[in-house]
Amino acid sequence: MKVGYDNNGQSFPAAKHGGTGRSLTAEIKLQFPDEFLTSVSGYICPVVHANHGGSPVIRSLSFKSNRRTFGAYGVEEGTPFSFPMEGGKIVGFKGRCRWFLDSIGFYITQAHVTKPQQINPYQVIQTRFRRLTSSLSLAAWNGEQNRPKPWKSPA
């Protein structure tokens, strides 16, 4: 398992945890901030392996967001488990691994679900335009320092 996150458009990948995965990969991309994980389920099962002593490992994982379901990833065998986050959302992961993914935990926070609002597209454009123009300081040079004259619209 490998989890990365995005911070204002900059991607931060994390190290892979668990076995080789037989070269199978899948990627889950959430439509942040409107989409978030609300549940994780899967299967645990003891695995006897040369590098693992036969204790239970996570064999399969499925993820649910407030919009979609992802998975199951892995082998669905053993004892099922499910962690629904009633009123919460998953904001991070923790766990332990050796050859396999031995355990998984979650950082959760309260989910704040907002209802979609009807927006007048012209109002959005005007607001964005005002924000853009208010961040600019435009003035014509008139030869007097510290006393610029504002630009005027052509008549």
d(CA 149, CA 155): 17
Say whether pLDDT at 31 is over 80. Answer: yes
Task: Express each pLDDT in 59-110 by its tens digit.
Answer: 999 999 999 999 999 899 999 999 998 889 988 888 888 778 888 888 889 8
Q: Are 44 and 61 in contact (CB under 8 A)?
A: no
pLDDT score, position 25: 74
d(CA 124, CA 120): 7
Domain 1-155 class, CATH top level: mainly beta
Say whether pLDDT at 144 is over 60. Answer: no
pLDDT score, position 84: 92
In the structure encoding, which two tokens stand for residue 145, read together? 């320092």
Q: Are 124 and 24 in contact (CB under 8 A)?
A: no
Q: How far is CA 14 from CA 3, 17, 18, 30, 39, in A?
A: 6, 9, 13, 17, 21
Say whether pLDDT at 113 is over 50. Answer: yes
State the Cα angle at 112 between 70 and 3, rounded to 5°.
40
